[in-house]
Structure 1
């Protein structure tokens, strides 16, 4: 009895160990990728600030009645999202943040009317429409500027985004095991309904999907508020999350997961055999199982993918009407392929030495059916992936110039490797199909009362190579899931890519003074601005003559002008780096949009020529 139970116990231990390794690889890959991203970019720029009132750095004669923040897309916030700090970094009482006249992209908060003279900092932390948190700060002064006592801390506990990403990764892995594994057991592999290992893998998928969803739901509150992990127990933060698009999508996902779990339990439950007069009744009772159950399951599979795509990058930006279904198909194809592949590797392609001779598992018809399904999934992944890459990247330069683009290139490399391995597996199926091995196995089939299938007659060495290939596919598939989870938490390259500005404008004809500036006649002004995005920038200015040589002038001064006439110009401090080369080392751009760098070139003691250099900050 003990000896008979030992192999089953060992198989159960091996299965648990494999699942633990899979979960460890996912979590480890997520943490490593996320830590590298967090280290370089503490706040993800999914939504970005377009306009503020008052303007950052503005000096006002009297305290403003309110502060307004206008973003490029809708944002949500709670009572802790906007804070006002004085010169000692003390938080001051302000009004409750709200939207301006129903505009979901504009936030407003009233300020005290008795603010003393000095500088104040308004720190904000809001949730963008794609469910990710962005933060920032602006300063303004009343009467005259004053020095701040301490910097403003805007970032959440570093553990919060890591736990959030791990939760998202578990949800991705769970949806793959639940959907793809269930399809494999219920449809592709007839014997799978009775296989305990397969059912355990699928149920573990439902558990991972549920756990990951709950983790994201609980962590979103402290993530949005910028608090520590202890905030998961704050009912106020949880309540605020439930009123957001993400919170509602996560609740719906939990309901759908429960329904899909019930459907899977019914699908793998043994059907009672029809007998005698009850045959007609049994056939009628089986209609819901054959028709209604697949229809409900298919609808649930589509609906569960929408809980991602209706609360992430897909529903913001351009062509949302096409991006949402394309992203849903992309996720569904990935889930069906990876989940089925894991069940195939764990339950069908087990080492021959560990099989019992009387219980050897046949490769037919599971392997050929899954091969056809994988081919369809790869086609869907390729078509939707190309479109989504274009939509979220936009330009070739953004592929290597942004974190999103580099992660996408890594994901593409992993997918191409998977396609290569899958092609080898498909060649195995074709080479050892039933038609090619029928004559070779006919005599052996007569001995057992049936004709053995070609795949099962394949040489053991070929099966071992197939097994190694499929396991490599599983590892690469987990890598793809890891990268995908990090991509969801990374700003799309189309919005985050800011190519350096490099432009040249002619010097106006008025610059024809005498002395050292005479060489500017017919020349040009070349300007390079890096990184050409909100925040600190470096502007290199070159004054060149008609022959292309650098021309020195007595002085160059500048101002930064916004396309909005209501925004005052910002002075730009410019110093000489070398004759004809001038540098603005700390040119601050308040927010994205169209700007003009106005340069006043003093060509003599009495003559000055303005040059306007338009550019766009991303």
Structure 2
């Protein structure tokens, strides 16, 4: 008896220590978020604002260094900046570091006296939301090379695939841990004695741990653009652990360990009375088995404990029981919040607009999804079973759990809907971005799947409400209605896992608000003074369409229209790209005729986002040329 009380006291003290650890981790992450919000502006994925040299620039001599400036702080790796010659060979350059101590500016020194020709600067950095962004631009020394410079792409395609698998596994694991544990401990207390339910929750702990470890190991090769063998490189792992994502993943592993210990304690009685000990050492009669398998609900009081043979009559036993009743729900709540923050503090939520609202909204969104899907999987494992393989007492005990879960699912769906609408607006922004970006299209697929889940859930809800407080008949031969319920629950599980998979892909996809660039379609009137030399252009216009109107290579279609809207051919059109503030020299744009009156610039390179002017020099006769300026904004 004394040994049982001593064990109970030790468990109570362990609960207190675990709660303190989780509180410290959660508090540290929250303070870290606050410091980030105060010390730096929030954006979405990082993008290059400017470079020196600029893209396409021709220099008289070798520049001393390459300098890159981004819109936000970035993490640099061993291969963040590389220099390639005309054959695609990587040249030896200085180490990449921050310029003047600014975390949004990267630099590297170049070797002196580079041979004349064109060179490519390839860069790869990790943005504040833990996602890798990369790009390239060229410059020439003396004169451009006559041949194109190949840019070597040596990124192992298996790396992002394994990373997505790890993230999906972690999402599934957290659903089983939080939703499954809630189902077993609160919605279905009798399930704590059910081996299948406990195994499912423990498998969630394993999946969450494995997925987190996979992401932690793969992030190094993913950020550096190396092969999958880089997971064994301790330098890459050390670099990952120095980043915000690495620290969040490490904190997640600590929290999972603490929650695992807590769950192991929660599914066992905290104190055994002398009578119970005697019974448990008695021969295995039917009555003994019944006593051994009797569950002890989380919130059991002294009277109930005495009735079940789990008496808490001693002072230490009562203190242990009281500590457990208070500490377990508090610890579970703190642990759930801490787990959610390990995602939201190192992902899209802490970049972009309104981070102060996005972080709690995303945390609630993920928490509601986890509670619903994890509980649903537990429910499916207990309901979608042939009646002959289920004991009647176990089936009857599931009836109140089914009703309780139905109410929980309604609450979770309400939270998912409200937070999902806000997050969709925040990360998409416009209707055009919804269908014009990968993120938006994935979001539409996710919405369709969620609506299908709601339709199935509505059918299950009707099944429960029609029967009110009457027995649901789970222990009887399956009726047609019960078979429909089982199919509905199974369908919800399949669709829920599909939603979870899409969520894992969305995490690795640039938000539509940051990646969407509406095509430029601008029309300016043809200069009246120049129309005297070309009567066919009097009252005409110049229409310019630029796609995708973002940094990198773009296509510009130029249409010269007469007064009646018909195309008018001119002898020649040349172009140049100018920054609106004229901070860099004009960049030449090669324009070729596609058809009479229609001209195309197939490889107009925009070096960085911002306000630009496409200057077109239109020759209308052998002696007359007129400039036309078309302003536009690139994302």
Q: 1:139 to 1:176 in 2, by over 3 A?
A: same
Equivalent residue for 1:377, pick from 401, 409, 412? 412
Q: Distance in 1 between matches of 2:311 and 2:212?
A: 48
Equivalent residue for 2:340, pick from 305, 310, 314? 305
For 2:563, the equivalent position in structure 1 comes to: 546
Q: Give the C-alpha shift of residue 198 in structure 1.
A: 0.5
User: SS at 2:441's partner residue?
Assistant: helix
- Structure-to-structure mapping, 1:120-159, within 5 angstroms: 120-146=119-145, 151-159=150-158
- Structure-to-structure mapping, 1:481-500, within 5 angstroms: 481-500=500-519
For 1:462, the equivalent position in structure 2 comes to: 481
User: SS at 1:491's partner residue?
Assistant: coil
Equivalent residue for 1:519, pick from 536, 548, 573? 536
1:305 touches 1:328 (CA, 8 Å); kept in 2? yes
For 1:47, the equivalent position in structure 2 comes to: 46
- Structure-to-structure mapping, 1:270-289, within 5 angstroms: 270-272=269-271, 273-274=305-306, 278-289=313-324
Q: 1:479 to 1:276 in 2, by over 3 A?
A: closer
For 2:577, the equivalent position in structure 1 comes to: 560
- Pairing 1:583–2:600 present: yes
For 1:97, the equivalent position in structure 2 comes to: 96
User: SS at 1:362's partner residue?
Assistant: helix
Equivalent residue for 1:355, pick from 367, 390, 400? 390
For 2:352, the equivalent position in structure 1 comes to: 317
Q: Give the C-alpha shift of residue 278 in structure 1.
A: 2.3
Of 298-307 and 70-79, more deviation after overlay is shown by 70-79
- Structure-to-structure mapping, 1:218-233, within 5 angstroms: 218-233=217-232
- Structure-to-structure mapping, 1:468-479, within 5 angstroms: 468-479=487-498
Q: Which has the higher contact order (CA 8 A, sep 6+)?
A: 2
Q: Distance in 1 between matches of 2:119 and 2:573?
A: 32
Deviation per residue, 1:161-180 (Å, 9 max, x gap): 11111000100000000010
2:396 touches 2:474 (CA, 8 Å); kept in 1? no
User: SS at 1:47's partner residue?
Assistant: coil
For 1:415, the equivalent position in structure 2 comes to: 450
Q: Distance in 1 between matches of 2:414 and 2:606?
A: 44
Q: Give the C-alpha shift of residue 599 in structure 1.
A: 1.1
For 1:594, the equivalent position in structure 2 comes to: 611
Deviation per residue, 1:391-417 (Å, 9 max, x gap): 111111112211111111110000001
Deviation per residue, 1:172-204 (Å, 9 max, x gap): 000000010001101111201111110100000
1:136 touches 1:154 (CA, 8 Å); kept in 2? no
For 2:300, the equivalent position in structure 1 comes to: none
Q: Give the C-alpha shift of residue 594 in structure 1.
A: 1.4
Q: 1:93 to 1:155 in 2, by over 3 A?
A: closer
Using structure 2 for the length normalisation, give the TM-score: 0.84
2:537 touches 2:563 (CA, 8 Å); kept in 1? yes
Q: 1:155 to 1:370 in 2, by over 3 A?
A: farther
Q: Distance in 2 between matches of 1:308 and 1:465?
A: 36
Q: Distance in 2 between matches of 1:530 and 1:316?
A: 26
For 1:444, the equivalent position in structure 2 comes to: none
- Matched residue count: 556
Q: 1:357 to 1:456 in 2, by over 3 A?
A: closer
Flag structure 2 segments of 5+ consecutive residues without an equivalent: 1-43, 272-304
1:513 touches 1:607 (CA, 8 Å); kept in 2? no
2:387 touches 2:474 (CA, 8 Å); kept in 1? no
1:185 touches 1:198 (CA, 8 Å); kept in 2? yes
2:433 touches 2:516 (CA, 8 Å); kept in 1? yes
User: SS at 2:529's partner residue?
Assistant: coil
Q: Distance in 2 between matches of 1:560 and 1:175?
A: 50
2:93 touches 2:111 (CA, 8 Å); kept in 1? yes
Q: Give the C-alpha shift of residue 554 in structure 1.
A: 2.5
Deviation per residue, 1:495-521 (Å, 9 max, x gap): 11222211111122212323xx21222
Q: Give the C-alpha shift of residue 322 in structure 1.
A: 1.0
Q: Distance in 1 between matches of 2:405 and 2:145?
A: 69
User: SS at 1:510's partner residue?
Assistant: helix
Q: Distance in 2 between matches of 1:496 and 1:276?
A: 63
Q: Give the C-alpha shift of residue 357 in structure 1.
A: 4.5
1:498 touches 1:533 (CA, 8 Å); kept in 2? yes
- Pairing 1:81–2:80 present: yes
For 2:464, the equivalent position in structure 1 comes to: 429
Q: 1:411 to 1:187 in 2, by over 3 A?
A: same
Q: Give the C-alpha shift of residue 563 in structure 1.
A: 2.6
Q: Give the C-alpha shift of residue 329 in structure 1.
A: 0.7
For 2:423, the equivalent position in structure 1 comes to: 388
For 1:242, the equivalent position in structure 2 comes to: 241
Flag structure 1 segments of 5+ consecutive residues without an equivalent: 1-44, 438-451
Q: Give the C-alpha shift of residue 553 in structure 1.
A: 2.5
Q: Distance in 1 between matches of 2:590 and 2:87?
A: 28
For 1:195, the equivalent position in structure 2 comes to: 194
Q: Distance in 2 between matches of 1:110 and 1:398?
A: 39
Q: Distance in 1 between matches of 2:159 and 2:420?
A: 29
Q: Give the C-alpha shift of residue 80 in structure 1.
A: 2.2
Q: Give the C-alpha shift of residue 362 in structure 1.
A: 2.9
Q: Give the C-alpha shift of residue 551 in structure 1.
A: 2.6
Q: 1:149 to 1:613 in 2, by over 3 A?
A: closer
Of 543-552 and 382-391, more deviation after overlay is shown by 543-552
Q: Distance in 2 between matches of 1:148 and 1:312?
A: 41
- Pairing 1:536–2:553 present: yes
Q: 1:360 to 1:323 in 2, by over 3 A?
A: closer
For 1:256, the equivalent position in structure 2 comes to: 255
